[in-house]
Amino acid sequence: MVIKMAESARVAVDAALSELAEGEKKWAATSLSDRRALLDRVRELTGRHAQQWVDAACAIKGLAASSPLVGEEWISGPYVMAAGLGALSKTLEVLARGESPLDGATFGVAGDRVTVDVLPAGPFDALLLNGFSAQVWLQRGVSSAAAKTNAGLAQLDPSRTHGVGAVLGAGNITSIAPLDVLYELIAHNRVVALKLNPITDPMLPVFAAILAPLIELGTVRLLTGGAEVGGYLVDHDLVDHVHMTGSARTHDAIVWGTGPEADERRLAGTPKLTKPVTSELGGVSPTIVLPGEWSAADIAFQAEHVATQRLHNGGYNCVAAQALIISADWAQKDQFLAAVRTALAAAPTRPPYYPGSDDRVARACGTYPEAERLGRDGERVLVTGLAPSPAEPLLTEEYFAPVLGVVELPGTGPEFARAAARTANDAFVGTLGVNIIAKPDTIDRLGASFDELIEDLRYGTVAINAWTGVGYLTPTASWGAFPGHTIDDVQSGIGVVHNAWLIDRVERTVVRGPFRPAPRSLLHGEFAISPKPPWFVGNKTAASTGRLLAGFGAEPGWLRLPQIFASALRG
Protein backbone atom coordinates (compact mmCIF):
# COMPACT_ATOMS: atom_id res chain seq x y z
CA MET A 1 0.00 0.00 0.00
CA VAL A 2 1.33 3.43 -0.94
CA ILE A 3 0.63 6.23 1.54
CA LYS A 4 0.58 9.64 -0.05
CA MET A 5 2.41 12.43 1.68
CA ALA A 6 1.36 16.07 1.58
CA GLU A 7 3.72 18.30 -0.35
CA SER A 8 3.96 20.66 2.63
CA ALA A 9 5.28 17.81 4.80
CA ARG A 10 7.83 16.88 2.15
CA VAL A 11 9.01 20.48 1.98
CA ALA A 12 9.27 20.65 5.78
CA VAL A 13 11.45 17.51 5.93
CA ASP A 14 13.66 18.69 3.06
CA ALA A 15 14.14 22.09 4.69
CA ALA A 16 14.90 20.60 8.11
CA LEU A 17 17.54 18.25 6.72
CA SER A 18 19.15 20.99 4.61
CA GLU A 19 19.37 23.17 7.70
CA LEU A 20 20.89 20.31 9.68
CA ALA A 21 23.53 19.76 7.01
CA GLU A 22 24.60 23.37 7.60
CA GLY A 23 24.20 22.99 11.36
CA GLU A 24 26.61 20.06 11.32
CA LYS A 25 29.40 22.45 10.32
CA LYS A 26 28.60 24.68 13.29
CA TRP A 27 28.49 21.68 15.60
CA ALA A 28 31.89 20.50 14.39
CA ALA A 29 33.32 23.93 15.23
CA THR A 30 31.72 23.98 18.71
CA SER A 31 34.21 23.26 21.50
CA LEU A 32 33.52 20.78 24.29
CA SER A 33 33.19 23.66 26.75
CA ASP A 34 30.64 25.40 24.55
CA ARG A 35 28.75 22.14 24.07
CA ARG A 36 28.61 21.78 27.82
CA ALA A 37 27.23 25.31 28.13
CA LEU A 38 24.50 24.41 25.63
CA LEU A 39 23.52 21.35 27.66
CA ASP A 40 23.46 23.41 30.84
CA ARG A 41 21.13 25.88 29.15
CA VAL A 42 18.83 23.05 28.00
CA ARG A 43 18.83 21.73 31.58
CA GLU A 44 17.82 25.16 32.90
CA LEU A 45 15.01 25.33 30.33
CA THR A 46 13.88 21.83 31.31
CA GLY A 47 13.34 23.10 34.83
CA ARG A 48 11.63 26.27 33.64
CA HIS A 49 9.18 24.38 31.41
CA ALA A 50 8.74 21.30 33.62
CA GLN A 51 5.16 22.16 34.60
CA GLN A 52 4.25 22.75 30.95
CA TRP A 53 5.82 19.38 30.12
CA VAL A 54 3.81 17.54 32.78
CA ASP A 55 0.58 19.33 31.88
CA ALA A 56 0.97 18.29 28.23
CA ALA A 57 1.80 14.70 29.19
CA CYS A 58 -1.21 14.47 31.51
CA ALA A 59 -3.48 15.78 28.76
CA ILE A 60 -2.20 13.05 26.43
CA LYS A 61 -2.75 10.35 29.04
CA GLY A 62 -6.01 11.62 30.50
CA LEU A 63 -4.64 12.07 34.01
CA ALA A 64 -6.38 14.48 36.36
CA ALA A 65 -4.11 17.14 37.83
CA SER A 66 -5.00 15.90 41.33
CA SER A 67 -4.03 12.27 40.68
CA PRO A 68 -0.93 10.86 42.44
CA LEU A 69 -0.17 9.17 39.09
CA VAL A 70 0.97 12.58 37.85
CA GLY A 71 4.16 11.69 39.70
CA GLU A 72 4.97 9.24 36.91
CA GLU A 73 5.06 12.13 34.47
CA TRP A 74 7.30 14.29 36.66
CA ILE A 75 9.78 11.47 37.27
CA SER A 76 9.87 9.86 33.81
CA GLY A 77 9.66 13.25 32.09
CA PRO A 78 11.50 16.41 33.20
CA TYR A 79 13.30 14.75 36.12
CA VAL A 80 15.13 12.12 34.08
CA MET A 81 15.76 14.61 31.26
CA ALA A 82 17.35 17.11 33.65
CA ALA A 83 19.37 14.39 35.38
CA GLY A 84 20.64 13.11 32.03
CA LEU A 85 21.67 16.60 30.95
CA GLY A 86 23.54 17.13 34.21
CA ALA A 87 25.47 13.88 33.85
CA LEU A 88 26.35 14.54 30.21
CA SER A 89 27.47 18.04 31.10
CA LYS A 90 29.90 16.67 33.69
CA THR A 91 31.23 14.19 31.13
CA LEU A 92 31.96 16.98 28.66
CA GLU A 93 33.64 18.99 31.41
CA VAL A 94 35.96 16.06 32.16
CA LEU A 95 36.72 15.46 28.48
CA ALA A 96 37.49 19.15 27.97
CA ARG A 97 40.22 18.78 30.61
CA GLY A 98 41.71 15.90 28.64
CA GLU A 99 40.65 13.33 31.23
CA SER A 100 38.48 10.21 31.02
CA PRO A 101 34.92 10.12 32.40
CA LEU A 102 36.00 6.87 34.11
CA ASP A 103 39.12 8.21 35.82
CA GLY A 104 37.39 8.28 39.19
CA ALA A 105 35.20 5.24 38.61
CA THR A 106 35.18 2.08 40.72
CA PHE A 107 35.81 -1.07 38.70
CA GLY A 108 34.99 -4.61 39.69
CA VAL A 109 34.66 -8.11 38.25
CA ALA A 110 31.59 -10.26 37.56
CA GLY A 111 32.58 -13.66 36.25
CA ASP A 112 34.85 -12.93 33.31
CA ARG A 113 33.63 -9.36 32.76
CA VAL A 114 34.83 -6.04 34.09
CA THR A 115 32.17 -3.90 35.79
CA VAL A 116 31.85 -0.16 36.46
CA ASP A 117 29.90 1.25 39.39
CA VAL A 118 27.53 3.90 37.99
CA LEU A 119 25.08 4.38 40.89
CA PRO A 120 25.49 6.13 43.22
CA ALA A 121 27.45 8.59 41.11
CA GLY A 122 27.80 11.13 43.92
CA PRO A 123 26.54 12.14 47.36
CA PHE A 124 23.12 13.23 46.12
CA ASP A 125 22.49 9.79 44.57
CA ALA A 126 23.66 8.15 47.78
CA LEU A 127 20.99 10.03 49.70
CA LEU A 128 18.08 10.20 47.27
CA LEU A 129 18.41 6.56 46.19
CA ASN A 130 19.90 5.17 49.36
CA GLY A 131 20.13 1.40 49.13
CA PHE A 132 20.02 1.37 45.34
CA SER A 133 23.09 0.70 43.21
CA ALA A 134 23.92 -0.05 39.60
CA GLN A 135 26.84 -1.47 37.67
CA VAL A 136 27.53 -1.41 33.97
CA TRP A 137 29.04 -4.69 32.81
CA LEU A 138 31.47 -4.41 29.92
CA GLN A 139 31.55 -6.94 27.13
CA ARG A 140 33.90 -9.88 27.48
CA GLY A 141 37.51 -8.97 26.79
CA VAL A 142 37.20 -5.25 27.60
CA SER A 143 39.66 -4.24 30.30
CA SER A 144 39.32 -1.36 32.72
CA ALA A 145 42.24 0.37 30.97
CA ALA A 146 40.50 0.08 27.59
CA ALA A 147 37.25 1.30 29.10
CA LYS A 148 38.98 4.41 30.47
CA THR A 149 40.69 5.10 27.17
CA ASN A 150 37.54 4.77 25.06
CA ALA A 151 35.04 6.43 27.39
CA GLY A 152 33.80 9.54 25.64
CA LEU A 153 32.90 7.81 22.37
CA ALA A 154 32.56 10.34 19.55
CA GLN A 155 33.32 13.27 21.87
CA LEU A 156 36.94 12.10 21.97
CA ASP A 157 37.20 13.77 18.55
CA PRO A 158 34.44 16.41 18.62
CA SER A 159 35.38 18.13 15.35
CA ARG A 160 34.77 14.87 13.47
CA THR A 161 31.01 14.77 13.08
CA HIS A 162 29.01 11.89 11.62
CA GLY A 163 26.27 13.42 9.55
CA VAL A 164 22.54 13.62 10.23
CA GLY A 165 20.68 11.18 12.47
CA ALA A 166 16.95 10.63 12.22
CA VAL A 167 15.23 9.76 15.51
CA LEU A 168 11.73 8.29 15.43
CA GLY A 169 10.32 9.13 18.84
CA ALA A 170 8.37 6.89 21.20
CA GLY A 171 4.70 7.39 21.99
CA ASN A 172 4.67 6.36 25.66
CA ILE A 173 7.31 7.82 27.99
CA THR A 174 7.75 11.47 27.08
CA SER A 175 11.47 11.72 27.91
CA ILE A 176 12.49 8.95 25.52
CA ALA A 177 12.55 11.11 22.40
CA PRO A 178 14.58 14.04 23.77
CA LEU A 179 17.00 11.69 25.56
CA ASP A 180 17.53 9.81 22.30
CA VAL A 181 18.25 13.14 20.61
CA LEU A 182 20.93 13.87 23.21
CA TYR A 183 22.54 10.47 22.70
CA GLU A 184 22.70 10.91 18.94
CA LEU A 185 24.14 14.39 19.35
CA ILE A 186 26.70 13.60 22.05
CA ALA A 187 27.58 9.90 21.91
CA HIS A 188 27.56 9.71 18.11
CA ASN A 189 28.32 13.36 17.27
CA ARG A 190 25.44 13.56 14.79
CA VAL A 191 23.01 16.42 14.33
CA VAL A 192 19.44 15.24 14.74
CA ALA A 193 16.04 15.34 13.07
CA LEU A 194 13.47 14.15 15.61
CA LYS A 195 10.08 13.04 14.32
CA LEU A 196 7.63 12.79 17.15
CA ASN A 197 5.24 9.89 17.48
CA PRO A 198 1.77 11.30 16.64
CA ILE A 199 0.60 10.38 20.14
CA THR A 200 3.08 12.86 21.58
CA ASP A 201 2.55 15.68 19.08
CA PRO A 202 1.15 17.86 21.92
CA MET A 203 4.69 17.80 23.37
CA LEU A 204 6.03 19.77 20.39
CA PRO A 205 5.80 23.26 21.99
CA VAL A 206 7.49 21.97 25.16
CA PHE A 207 10.34 20.28 23.32
CA ALA A 208 10.79 23.31 21.07
CA ALA A 209 11.15 25.52 24.15
CA ILE A 210 13.50 23.19 26.01
CA LEU A 211 15.72 22.32 23.03
CA ALA A 212 15.78 25.92 21.78
CA PRO A 213 19.58 26.39 22.23
CA LEU A 214 20.28 23.33 20.06
CA ILE A 215 17.61 24.30 17.54
CA GLU A 216 19.01 27.83 17.23
CA LEU A 217 22.49 26.44 16.57
CA GLY A 218 21.05 24.29 13.78
CA THR A 219 21.87 20.93 15.39
CA VAL A 220 18.30 19.77 16.12
CA ARG A 221 15.08 19.93 14.12
CA LEU A 222 11.63 18.76 15.26
CA LEU A 223 9.12 17.20 12.89
CA THR A 224 5.61 15.83 13.19
CA GLY A 225 3.49 13.60 10.99
CA GLY A 226 2.47 10.02 10.45
CA ALA A 227 4.13 6.95 8.97
CA GLU A 228 4.51 8.60 5.59
CA VAL A 229 6.63 11.40 7.06
CA GLY A 230 8.72 8.92 9.01
CA GLY A 231 9.25 6.81 5.90
CA TYR A 232 10.28 9.78 3.82
CA LEU A 233 12.63 10.98 6.56
CA VAL A 234 14.52 7.73 7.09
CA ASP A 235 14.87 7.13 3.34
CA HIS A 236 16.16 10.64 2.67
CA ASP A 237 19.60 10.95 1.08
CA LEU A 238 20.69 13.49 3.71
CA VAL A 239 20.05 11.08 6.60
CA ASP A 240 23.05 8.96 7.58
CA HIS A 241 21.69 6.98 10.50
CA VAL A 242 18.33 6.03 11.99
CA HIS A 243 17.39 5.43 15.62
CA MET A 244 13.91 4.38 16.64
CA THR A 245 11.93 3.37 19.70
CA GLY A 246 8.83 1.25 19.20
CA SER A 247 7.89 -2.30 18.32
CA ALA A 248 9.85 -4.92 16.42
CA ARG A 249 6.98 -4.93 13.92
CA THR A 250 7.48 -1.23 13.19
CA HIS A 251 11.24 -1.72 12.95
CA ASP A 252 10.82 -4.50 10.41
CA ALA A 253 8.37 -2.46 8.34
CA ILE A 254 10.91 0.36 8.15
CA VAL A 255 13.89 -1.88 7.43
CA TRP A 256 12.33 -4.58 5.23
CA GLY A 257 9.02 -3.10 4.06
CA THR A 258 5.69 -4.88 4.35
CA GLY A 259 3.79 -7.70 2.65
CA PRO A 260 5.25 -10.02 0.02
CA GLU A 261 7.93 -7.46 -0.85
CA ALA A 262 9.34 -7.74 2.69
CA ASP A 263 9.43 -11.53 2.49
CA GLU A 264 11.31 -11.38 -0.80
CA ARG A 265 13.79 -8.89 0.61
CA ARG A 266 14.44 -11.06 3.64
CA LEU A 267 15.08 -14.10 1.47
CA ALA A 268 17.45 -12.12 -0.71
CA GLY A 269 19.11 -10.38 2.24
CA THR A 270 18.49 -6.96 0.69
CA PRO A 271 16.80 -4.65 3.21
CA LYS A 272 14.75 -1.72 2.02
CA LEU A 273 16.64 0.59 4.36
CA THR A 274 20.36 0.23 3.78
CA LYS A 275 21.70 2.82 6.24
CA PRO A 276 22.68 1.88 9.81
CA VAL A 277 19.81 1.49 12.29
CA THR A 278 19.84 1.37 16.08
CA SER A 279 16.74 0.73 18.12
CA GLU A 280 15.03 0.09 21.45
CA LEU A 281 12.04 -2.17 20.88
CA GLY A 282 10.76 -3.62 24.11
CA GLY A 283 9.70 -7.24 24.33
CA VAL A 284 8.13 -9.53 26.93
CA SER A 285 9.87 -8.83 30.24
CA PRO A 286 9.87 -11.45 33.01
CA THR A 287 9.99 -11.05 36.78
CA ILE A 288 11.64 -13.98 38.56
CA VAL A 289 10.51 -14.50 42.17
CA LEU A 290 12.96 -16.60 44.17
CA PRO A 291 11.18 -18.51 46.96
CA GLY A 292 11.95 -17.72 50.59
CA GLU A 293 10.27 -17.23 53.94
CA TRP A 294 8.52 -13.85 53.68
CA SER A 295 6.55 -11.90 56.24
CA ALA A 296 3.06 -10.63 55.45
CA ALA A 297 4.53 -7.14 55.04
CA ASP A 298 7.16 -8.48 52.59
CA ILE A 299 4.45 -10.16 50.54
CA ALA A 300 2.26 -7.05 50.40
CA PHE A 301 5.17 -4.76 49.45
CA GLN A 302 6.54 -7.05 46.74
CA ALA A 303 3.04 -7.64 45.35
CA GLU A 304 2.71 -3.86 44.91
CA HIS A 305 6.19 -3.90 43.37
CA VAL A 306 4.99 -6.42 40.76
CA ALA A 307 1.82 -4.37 40.15
CA THR A 308 4.03 -1.33 39.55
CA GLN A 309 6.23 -3.22 37.11
CA ARG A 310 3.11 -4.09 35.11
CA LEU A 311 0.89 -1.02 35.55
CA HIS A 312 3.27 1.97 35.60
CA ASN A 313 2.18 4.30 32.78
CA GLY A 314 -0.89 2.12 32.37
CA GLY A 315 1.23 -0.84 31.27
CA TYR A 316 2.45 0.98 28.16
CA ASN A 317 6.15 0.57 28.85
CA CYS A 318 8.66 -1.30 26.72
CA VAL A 319 10.05 -2.86 29.89
CA ALA A 320 6.78 -3.52 31.73
CA ALA A 321 6.80 -6.94 33.39
CA GLN A 322 4.47 -9.23 31.45
CA ALA A 323 5.00 -12.56 33.23
CA LEU A 324 6.04 -13.81 36.64
CA ILE A 325 8.28 -16.85 36.93
CA ILE A 326 7.66 -18.42 40.35
CA SER A 327 8.28 -21.70 42.11
CA ALA A 328 5.42 -24.19 42.05
CA ASP A 329 6.91 -25.63 45.25
CA TRP A 330 7.13 -22.35 47.17
CA ALA A 331 5.09 -22.71 50.35
CA GLN A 332 3.89 -19.09 50.08
CA LYS A 333 3.11 -19.14 46.36
CA ASP A 334 -0.66 -18.96 46.76
CA GLN A 335 -0.41 -16.24 49.40
CA PHE A 336 1.83 -14.16 47.14
CA LEU A 337 -0.38 -14.58 44.06
CA ALA A 338 -3.41 -13.56 46.13
CA ALA A 339 -1.55 -10.40 47.14
CA VAL A 340 -0.64 -9.73 43.50
CA ARG A 341 -4.33 -10.00 42.56
CA THR A 342 -5.20 -7.54 45.31
CA ALA A 343 -2.47 -5.09 44.23
CA LEU A 344 -3.49 -5.25 40.56
CA ALA A 345 -7.12 -4.66 41.46
CA ALA A 346 -6.41 -1.84 43.92
CA ALA A 347 -4.05 0.22 41.75
CA PRO A 348 -5.50 3.58 40.69
CA THR A 349 -7.77 3.46 37.66
CA ARG A 350 -6.63 5.37 34.60
CA PRO A 351 -7.75 5.78 30.98
CA PRO A 352 -6.35 3.33 28.40
CA TYR A 353 -4.75 6.17 26.43
CA TYR A 354 -2.43 4.15 24.19
CA PRO A 355 -4.07 3.28 20.84
CA GLY A 356 -5.20 -0.32 20.52
CA SER A 357 -4.98 -1.11 24.24
CA ASP A 358 -8.55 -2.38 24.55
CA ASP A 359 -8.11 -4.56 21.47
CA ARG A 360 -4.93 -6.10 22.89
CA VAL A 361 -6.64 -6.81 26.21
CA ALA A 362 -9.53 -8.42 24.33
CA ARG A 363 -7.08 -10.49 22.29
CA ALA A 364 -5.38 -11.72 25.47
CA CYS A 365 -8.75 -12.71 26.92
CA GLY A 366 -9.67 -14.45 23.68
CA THR A 367 -6.44 -16.43 23.78
CA TYR A 368 -6.90 -17.21 27.47
CA PRO A 369 -10.64 -17.48 28.20
CA GLU A 370 -9.87 -18.55 31.77
CA ALA A 371 -8.08 -15.22 32.43
CA GLU A 372 -9.11 -13.23 35.50
CA ARG A 373 -10.37 -9.67 34.96
CA LEU A 374 -9.29 -7.29 37.72
CA GLY A 375 -9.74 -3.61 38.48
CA ARG A 376 -12.84 -1.44 38.63
CA ASP A 377 -13.82 -2.12 35.01
CA GLY A 378 -12.01 -5.44 34.59
CA GLU A 379 -9.38 -3.66 32.53
CA ARG A 380 -6.49 -5.66 34.02
CA VAL A 381 -5.89 -9.27 33.08
CA LEU A 382 -4.15 -12.02 35.07
CA VAL A 383 -3.39 -15.36 33.40
CA THR A 384 -2.06 -18.26 35.46
CA GLY A 385 -0.89 -21.71 34.46
CA LEU A 386 1.28 -20.63 31.52
CA ALA A 387 3.63 -23.16 29.96
CA PRO A 388 7.37 -22.28 30.08
CA SER A 389 7.59 -22.56 26.32
CA PRO A 390 8.21 -20.32 23.30
CA ALA A 391 4.92 -21.72 22.00
CA GLU A 392 3.07 -19.85 24.78
CA PRO A 393 1.52 -16.71 23.19
CA LEU A 394 1.80 -14.53 26.29
CA LEU A 395 5.57 -15.09 26.38
CA THR A 396 6.09 -14.27 22.72
CA GLU A 397 3.73 -11.35 22.09
CA GLU A 398 4.23 -7.99 23.78
CA TYR A 399 0.69 -6.95 24.66
CA PHE A 400 1.64 -3.36 25.64
CA ALA A 401 -1.40 -3.33 27.89
CA PRO A 402 -2.23 -4.29 31.51
CA VAL A 403 -1.86 -8.05 30.99
CA LEU A 404 0.20 -10.18 33.40
CA GLY A 405 0.88 -13.92 33.22
CA VAL A 406 2.27 -16.46 35.67
CA VAL A 407 4.66 -19.32 34.86
CA GLU A 408 5.32 -21.94 37.54
CA LEU A 409 8.49 -24.04 37.59
CA PRO A 410 9.47 -26.84 39.99
CA GLY A 411 12.19 -26.50 42.61
CA THR A 412 13.12 -24.01 45.31
CA GLY A 413 16.91 -23.68 45.36
CA PRO A 414 19.67 -23.53 42.75
CA GLU A 415 17.71 -25.83 40.45
CA PHE A 416 14.85 -23.31 40.36
CA ALA A 417 17.25 -20.42 39.69
CA ARG A 418 18.80 -22.30 36.76
CA ALA A 419 15.40 -23.24 35.34
CA ALA A 420 14.17 -19.64 35.72
CA ALA A 421 17.17 -18.30 33.79
CA ARG A 422 16.68 -20.91 31.08
CA THR A 423 13.00 -20.04 30.75
CA ALA A 424 13.63 -16.28 30.69
CA ASN A 425 16.30 -16.68 28.01
CA ASP A 426 14.63 -19.27 25.80
CA ALA A 427 10.86 -18.88 26.14
CA PHE A 428 10.48 -15.09 26.26
CA VAL A 429 10.74 -12.77 23.26
CA GLY A 430 13.03 -9.80 23.77
CA THR A 431 16.07 -9.02 25.89
CA LEU A 432 15.47 -5.50 27.21
CA GLY A 433 14.96 -6.14 30.92
CA VAL A 434 14.42 -8.81 33.56
CA ASN A 435 13.51 -8.36 37.24
CA ILE A 436 14.49 -10.60 40.15
CA ILE A 437 12.81 -10.45 43.55
CA ALA A 438 14.63 -12.26 46.35
CA LYS A 439 14.94 -11.93 50.09
CA PRO A 440 18.54 -11.09 51.11
CA ASP A 441 19.00 -14.35 53.06
CA THR A 442 17.84 -16.28 49.97
CA ILE A 443 20.53 -14.54 47.92
CA ASP A 444 23.11 -15.36 50.60
CA ARG A 445 22.08 -19.04 50.69
CA LEU A 446 22.26 -19.35 46.92
CA GLY A 447 25.73 -17.82 46.91
CA ALA A 448 27.52 -18.66 43.67
CA SER A 449 24.28 -19.97 42.17
CA PHE A 450 22.77 -16.48 42.46
CA ASP A 451 25.81 -14.95 40.76
CA GLU A 452 25.46 -17.53 37.99
CA LEU A 453 21.79 -16.61 37.61
CA ILE A 454 22.71 -12.97 36.96
CA GLU A 455 25.48 -13.93 34.55
CA ASP A 456 23.27 -16.35 32.65
CA LEU A 457 20.43 -13.90 31.99
CA ARG A 458 20.77 -12.40 28.52
CA TYR A 459 19.13 -9.03 29.15
CA GLY A 460 20.25 -5.44 28.73
CA THR A 461 19.13 -4.53 32.26
CA VAL A 462 18.89 -6.95 35.16
CA ALA A 463 17.21 -5.52 38.27
CA ILE A 464 17.47 -7.23 41.65
CA ASN A 465 14.81 -6.12 44.15
CA ALA A 466 14.25 -3.11 41.96
CA TRP A 467 12.27 -2.53 38.80
CA THR A 468 14.35 -2.28 35.62
CA GLY A 469 12.78 1.15 35.20
CA VAL A 470 15.33 2.33 37.80
CA GLY A 471 17.95 1.63 35.13
CA TYR A 472 16.08 3.93 32.77
CA LEU A 473 16.06 6.66 35.43
CA THR A 474 19.82 6.35 36.05
CA PRO A 475 21.59 8.58 33.49
CA THR A 476 24.98 6.92 33.93
CA ALA A 477 23.51 3.45 33.29
CA SER A 478 23.13 2.02 29.81
CA TRP A 479 19.69 1.35 28.39
CA GLY A 480 19.02 -1.07 25.57
CA ALA A 481 18.83 -4.70 24.54
CA PHE A 482 21.43 -7.35 25.26
CA PRO A 483 24.07 -7.07 22.51
CA GLY A 484 24.10 -9.36 19.51
CA HIS A 485 20.81 -8.73 17.72
CA THR A 486 20.75 -7.92 14.02
CA ILE A 487 18.18 -6.44 11.66
CA ASP A 488 17.30 -10.01 10.63
CA ASP A 489 16.22 -10.91 14.18
CA VAL A 490 16.04 -7.60 16.02
CA GLN A 491 14.28 -8.75 19.22
CA SER A 492 14.59 -5.77 21.64
CA GLY A 493 16.85 -3.75 19.41
CA ILE A 494 20.41 -2.82 18.58
CA GLY A 495 22.67 -0.50 20.57
CA VAL A 496 22.23 1.46 23.80
CA VAL A 497 21.25 4.96 24.87
CA HIS A 498 21.57 7.13 28.05
CA ASN A 499 25.05 5.92 29.17
CA ALA A 500 26.08 9.44 30.21
CA TRP A 501 29.69 8.48 30.91
CA LEU A 502 29.82 7.43 27.23
CA ILE A 503 31.22 3.97 27.99
CA ASP A 504 32.18 1.86 24.99
CA ARG A 505 31.22 -1.79 24.44
CA VAL A 506 28.59 -2.13 27.15
CA GLU A 507 26.96 -5.51 27.72
CA ARG A 508 24.35 -4.79 30.38
CA THR A 509 23.41 -2.82 33.47
CA VAL A 510 22.72 -4.59 36.77
CA VAL A 511 20.57 -2.63 39.25
CA ARG A 512 20.10 -3.56 42.91
CA GLY A 513 17.63 -2.24 45.45
CA PRO A 514 16.49 -2.98 49.00
CA PHE A 515 14.06 -5.86 49.52
CA ARG A 516 12.12 -3.81 52.07
CA PRO A 517 11.39 -0.09 52.35
CA ALA A 518 12.54 1.93 55.35
CA PRO A 519 12.12 1.67 58.25
CA ARG A 520 11.55 -2.11 57.91
CA SER A 521 14.79 -2.39 55.94
CA LEU A 522 16.80 -1.09 58.89
CA LEU A 523 14.96 -3.32 61.33
CA HIS A 524 15.97 -6.38 59.28
CA GLY A 525 19.63 -5.51 58.74
CA GLU A 526 19.40 -3.84 55.32
CA PHE A 527 21.34 -0.58 55.44
CA ALA A 528 18.93 1.40 53.26
CA ILE A 529 16.81 4.40 54.24
CA SER A 530 14.69 4.60 51.08
CA PRO A 531 10.94 4.56 51.78
CA LYS A 532 8.36 3.22 49.35
CA PRO A 533 9.67 4.41 45.95
CA PRO A 534 7.78 7.34 44.39
CA TRP A 535 7.30 5.37 41.15
CA PHE A 536 5.13 2.76 42.92
CA VAL A 537 1.58 2.93 41.59
CA GLY A 538 0.19 3.07 45.13
CA ASN A 539 2.43 5.88 46.36
CA LYS A 540 0.14 8.58 47.76
CA THR A 541 2.62 11.47 47.46
CA ALA A 542 4.13 10.53 44.12
CA ALA A 543 3.00 13.76 42.45
CA SER A 544 4.54 16.08 45.04
CA THR A 545 7.70 13.99 45.34
CA GLY A 546 8.05 13.84 41.55
CA ARG A 547 7.63 17.60 41.22
CA LEU A 548 10.29 18.20 43.85
CA LEU A 549 12.65 15.70 42.20
CA ALA A 550 12.23 17.43 38.84
CA GLY A 551 13.18 20.74 40.43
CA PHE A 552 16.20 19.09 42.02
CA GLY A 553 17.21 17.49 38.72
CA ALA A 554 17.25 20.89 37.01
CA GLU A 555 19.03 22.66 39.87
CA PRO A 556 20.54 20.31 42.47
CA GLY A 557 21.20 21.65 45.93
CA TRP A 558 21.36 20.51 49.53
CA LEU A 559 18.54 22.83 50.57
CA ARG A 560 16.12 20.99 48.28
CA LEU A 561 16.61 17.64 50.02
CA PRO A 562 14.51 18.11 53.19
CA GLN A 563 11.33 18.78 51.22
CA ILE A 564 11.96 15.76 48.99
CA PHE A 565 12.54 13.47 52.00
CA ALA A 566 9.47 14.80 53.81
CA SER A 567 7.25 14.16 50.79
CA ALA A 568 8.76 10.73 50.06
CA LEU A 569 8.30 9.55 53.64
CA ARG A 570 4.58 10.30 53.45
CA GLY A 571 4.20 8.11 50.35
pLDDT over 90 for what percent of the chain? 98
Residue 6 CB coordination number (10 Å): 11
Query: Which pLDDT belongs to residue 112?
Result: 95
Query: Which pLDDT belongs to residue 493?
Result: 98
Indicate where the chain has its CATH 3.40.309.10 domain(s): 288-467+479-501+511-533
pLDDT (tens digit, 9 = 90+) per residue, 319-333? 999 999 999 999 999
Measured CA to CA, the distance from residue 565 to residue 146 in angstroms comes to: 39
Query: Which pLDDT belongs to residue 3?
Result: 56
User: What is the rounded average pLDDT of the residues 475-483?
Assistant: 98
Residue 362 CB coordination number (10 Å): 12
Query: Which pLDDT belongs to residue 190?
Result: 98
> 326 and 289 in contact (C-beta within 8 Å)?
yes
Query: Which pLDDT belongs to residue 490?
Result: 97
pLDDT (tens digit, 9 = 90+) per residue, 496-507? 999 999 999 999
Is the pLDDT at 142 greater than 50? The verdict is yes
Measured CA to CA, the distance from residue 347 to residue 209 in angstroms comes to: 34
Is the pLDDT at 99 greater than 50? The verdict is yes
Nearest to 286 by CA among 459, 456, 454: 459
Walk across the sheet containing 164-168 and list its strands: 220-223, 191-195, 164-168, 241-245, 277-280, 493-494
> Which pLDDT band, with edges at 50, 70 and 90, does 5 fall under?
confident
Query: Which pLDDT belongs to residue 550?
Result: 98
Measured CA to CA, the distance from residue 118 to residue 147 in angstroms comes to: 13
Q: Under 8 Å CB-to-CB from 374, ≥6 apart: which residues?
A: 341, 344, 345, 380, 381, 382
| Distance in angstroms between the alpha carbons of the first and the last residue of the chain | 51
Query: Which pLDDT belongs to residue 6?
Result: 87
> Which pLDDT band, with edges at 50, 70 and 90, does 267 fall under?
very high
Whether a cis peptide bond, with omega within 30° of 0, leads into 120 is yes
Q: Which CATH class is domain 288-467+479-501+511-533?
A: alpha beta
Nearest to 81 by CA among 133, 27, 131, 44: 44
Measured CA to CA, the distance from residue 106 to residue 100 in angstroms comes to: 13
Query: Which pLDDT belongs to residue 362?
Result: 96
Strand partners, 323: 286, 405
> Which pLDDT band, with edges at 50, 70 and 90, does 1 fall under?
very low
DSSP alpha helix (H) spans, 211-332: 212-217, 227-235, 248-256, 259-268, 296-311
pLDDT (tens digit, 9 = 90+) per residue, 270-306? 999 999 999 999 999 999 999 999 999 999 999 999 9
> 404 and 324 in contact (C-beta within 8 Å)?
yes
User: What is the rounded average pLDDT of the residues 346-354?
Assistant: 95
pLDDT over 70 for what percent of the chain? 99
pLDDT (tens digit, 9 = 90+) per residue, 180-193? 999 999 999 999 99
pLDDT (tens digit, 9 = 90+) per residue, 514-543? 999 999 999 999 999 999 999 999 999 999
Tell me the Ramachandran region of residue 517: left when phi exceeds 0, alpha when psi lies from -120 to 50, beta otherwise: beta
Average pLDDT, the chain: 97
Strand partners, 220: 192
